[in-house]
Structure formats: structure tokens, C-alpha cells
Structure 1
Amino acid sequence: MTSEKLIKSKERVQQHGEVFTPQWMVQKMLDVEGVKEACENIEATFLEPSAGDGNFLVAILERKLKAVTEQFSDGHWKTKSLFALSSIYGIEFLADNLEIARSRMLLRYLNWYEEFFHVYLTSKSDLYKSAMYIIRRNIVRGNTLTKKHPDYDTPILLNEWKRVKGSSSKVEKIEFTFSSLFSDGEEIEKGIPEGQMSFFDFEMIDEEKDESVSESVIIDIQKVHQLGER
């Protein structure tokens, strides 16, 4: 049995403190009371502030898509699965890890679709394009300590995908900065040391989105990729 690789190189450990969380520990953490239930709630939002190559992100997506498959019919799977996907956020400092995490998320989503519908999802479909669009805007490059991009003096930007009341498929896309999740430089969640942020129990509330950076847009979640074509 091949052992799981937890470091890529000694240099990366020394320079960035990069050590990956083993799968057994990921699953154990996600089985904690409260967290386990949130993973089965397609609307519960998670933020991983040090995403690495996506171990936690993929594991959370796996549990959410399992919940979608068990809770909803074929006719609702596409929309509900995108809502589940849109609830998972990640920030990663290293560019190569970021691309791996994004690719793993997309591949896991495609695998679930193929297992559910017994057909491949074409890259030309709205569903494929929208899944990729959501992943690339929810999992981004950044330094969570400075709350900025590692190479540029620009804030980390994220998007909220807020479900429109009265509609089963429309979302309001609201862009905001990562720094807006903090109040006067201090973490909103009490008991978390400065410079750290838990990805558990992450929720969007009005006060957190005061620092919006663009006008909101309402669109069907299966069509969100069109926003990138405008």
C-alpha cells in the first residue's frame, strides 16, 4: 500500500511551512459533531484559508454531492450540485497548489455527474462551464495574513452566490473582499488567534459584505459562466 505524500520538498516546508493534511485526519476532522452535519447541508458555507492542493475542499465537496444525490431527484441534481459547489471556498498562497486544487475539484464534480447520469459531461455544456467558473472564483490565490494577492498589492476577492428568494435556480452574485470578513483587523469569530481563521461555520452576514467591490448580478446558476463572457 503506497503511503500518502505529505510534503513536496524540504525547501517548500522551510520556505512556506507546507505540510499536507493526511486523508485520515481530514475525514476525522469532518466527522466532528456539527461539522459533519454542515457537510451534509448543501447551503452551509466553508472557507479553507490555506487550501494546499485541495484535500479538505475535495473531501467537503464529496460529502455535499453525496447529500445532493441522496436528497434530490434527477431533475434537481444539476442546480443543487452547483449550489453545493458554490458553498465551498479556498485561498492558497502557492500557484501550483492552487491549480491542482481547482483541477481536483472539477474532476470530482465531473465524476459525480458521470456516476449519477451515466454519461460524460461535455466541456461545451452550460453545467461544465458554470462549475469551472464557480471553482475558479471560489478557490483563489492569496495570502491570508496580508489579505492580499501574493504578487500584487491587490485585495483577495471572493464571490457570494446568494440564492434569490422565490426562485429555485437563480443566484445573486456579489463580489467582496476577503478583508471584509474581519472587523477592524480582528477576526469576527472569538477565540481565534490573530492571523488564523477557521474554515468551519463560515457564514455570510450583511456586516461582512460592507466592502463590496462591484454591483451584484442576478442569473440562473447554470448560466453563471456567461458572466465571464461579458
Structure 2
Amino acid sequence: MKENLIKSKQRVQKHGEVFTPAWMVQKMLDTPGVKEACENVSATFLEPSAGDGNFLQAILERKLEAVVRQFDKRNWKTKSLVALSSIYGIEFLEDNLEVARSRMFLCYLDWYEKNLRTRLNSKNNVYRSAHYLIHKNIVRGNTLTQQHPVTGEPIWFNEWQMVKGHPSLVRKIPFALSELLGKEVEDDRTVVEGQLSFSDIDDEFRIEDEAVEKTDKIEEITIQKVYLLGD
């Protein structure tokens, strides 16, 4: 099938919007270093110009395949949510944002049904947590200004930090995109491939312990019920 790489000439002129074809997405994800990170369930990815989510979905698909290969089936629910929690995106245009979120959610639901042989419904904890993580991790914003394009508010994310000794427990640690970018510039260790940047959660993306000690907003919960944390 022929892919539509532009929605309109007006959008190209106004926003420079041209989507990356699927074959190129896969080729970029096969780049040494990036390929291995896609097979690491907890390695974090940030797509600063998410578009309609083609990169995000492709990364999620690879991570979910890794979950099946690397873990016992009894751990798939938790590990699949860990994989989902490690993928972040920023998109300037609201319609693209909704498509990107929908693609991620449908991708996850399809994987779950295929591999766990049951269909999730909206009352299920895993369903709610997957939906919650996607909406928290994929947000509207302008990466260049680190702000929401309409309200001007800073772009905020949460790190879903695994608690040592508790394989399903996560800590919700809020941070501003500007903080992350500042650390990247200072350390100069972030790998960038075209639109895509990523870093390992155990190193670059981790919020420093000193910063953790200074905030009273840290919360811990099992990742299968992370949606209970709300806003």
C-alpha cells in the first residue's frame, strides 16, 4: 500500500510536516545501538517530533516482542507496561497527537489479545494503566520552547522508576522537559538518530537522587494499577 507522507501542502508549508515512511522507520531502528535499545524493555526513548506516532508504534512493537522472548509468561503484563512506560513523545499538532496515542493503545491491546489470549476491557487494571501511561508519556508541546503551544505551560513528564527489590513497583517522579534537556546538554551523552533520540533509563534518563530527595511528589504503586495515581 502507498503511504500518505503529507496531509496537505498547507501543513507542509506551515509546519514542515512530512511523515517518515515505514521502511525508513525500520531502517533507523535497525541502527547499531538503537536496535539493541529497542530490545531492552526498560530503555527509554523520547521522540521530540512524534507526528502520528509511526516511530512510537514501531518501538513499542519491538519492545513487546522482546517481552515475549525474554520473560516468563506470568511476567508479561508487568513487563509490557514497563515497556510502554519507557516510550515518550512530544507532538505540536493536536490531531496528530490523538492519532499517535490511539496507535499506541491499539497496538498494545492487539498484542495483549494475541499473546495472552484474552481481550482487555475498560474496567481492567492493565487496560486503564496502559491508557494512563500513554496519555502521560505522549503529550502536546513544542520541543524547541519546551512549552505547550497554546497555554505556554512547561512540558512535564513523569519517570516511572522501578523500585529495587520490587519487580512490579514503580515510583512516579515528575520532571520538566527543560530539566532533561539541560542534563543532556551538560553530559553530552544522548544518542540522536534523525528525529529520534534515546537514552538508557539506568543512566541518562534517571532523575538524580538529590532531586528526588527535594520533592514531595514522589509516589509508589504497582505498575498494573498506576492509573490510580491520577493527575
Normalising by structure 2, we get a TM-score of 0.90
Distance 1:191 1:215 in 2: 27
CA contact (8 A) 1:90 1:139 kept: yes
Distance 1:226 1:14 in 2: 42
- Look up the match of 1:28: 27
The answer to whether 1:12 aligns with 2:15 is no
Residue correspondence of structure 1 range 55-70 to structure 2 within 5 A: 55-70=54-69
CA contact (8 A) 1:181 1:188 kept: no
- Look up the match of 1:178: 177
Change beyond 3 A, Cα 1:209–1:33: farther
- The AA in structure 2 aligned to 1:97 is N
Q: Is the partner of 1:60 in helix, strand or coil?
A: helix
- The AA in structure 1 aligned to 2:199 is D
**Could you tell me the percent identity over the aligned residues?**
59
- Look up the match of 2:47: 48
CA contact (8 A) 2:49 2:195 kept: no
Distance 2:73 2:179 in 1: 38
Unpaired runs of at least 5, structure 1: none
Q: Is the partner of 2:167 in helix, strand or coil?
A: coil
**How many equivalent residue pairs?**
226
- Look up the match of 1:168: 167
1:164: how far off? 0.3
Unpaired runs of at least 5, structure 2: none
1:205: how far off? 3.3
Distance 1:81 1:173 in 2: 17
CA contact (8 A) 2:137 2:157 kept: yes
Change beyond 3 A, Cα 1:82–1:132: same
- Look up the match of 2:80: 81
Change beyond 3 A, Cα 1:90–1:213: farther
Residue correspondence of structure 1 range 1-230 to structure 2 within 5 A: 2-183=1-182, 186=185, 188-189=187-188, 198-201=196-199, 203-207=204-208, 210=211, 215-228=217-230
1:161: how far off? 0.2
Over aligned residues, Cα RMSD in angstroms? 2.4
CA contact (8 A) 1:88 1:138 kept: yes
- The AA in structure 2 aligned to 1:205 is R
Normalising by structure 1, we get a TM-score of 0.91
Change beyond 3 A, Cα 1:136–1:191: closer
CA contact (8 A) 1:68 1:80 kept: yes
Distance 2:195 2:17 in 1: 17
CA contact (8 A) 1:174 1:216 kept: yes
- The AA in structure 1 aligned to 2:140 is R
4+ residue stretches of structure 1 with deviation over 3 A?
A: 184-188, 190-193, 205-214
Deviations 1:85-128 (A, max 9, x none): 00000000000000000000000000000001222111110000
CA contact (8 A) 2:53 2:104 kept: yes
1:201: how far off? 2.7
Distance 1:183 1:94 in 2: 24
CA contact (8 A) 2:184 2:190 kept: no
Q: Is the partner of 2:173 in helix, strand or coil?
A: strand
Change beyond 3 A, Cα 1:28–1:185: closer
Q: Is the partner of 2:49 in helix, strand or coil?
A: coil
Change beyond 3 A, Cα 1:17–1:188: farther
CA contact (8 A) 2:190 2:198 kept: no
CA contact (8 A) 1:158 1:175 kept: yes
CA contact (8 A) 1:182 1:208 kept: no
1:206: how far off? 3.4
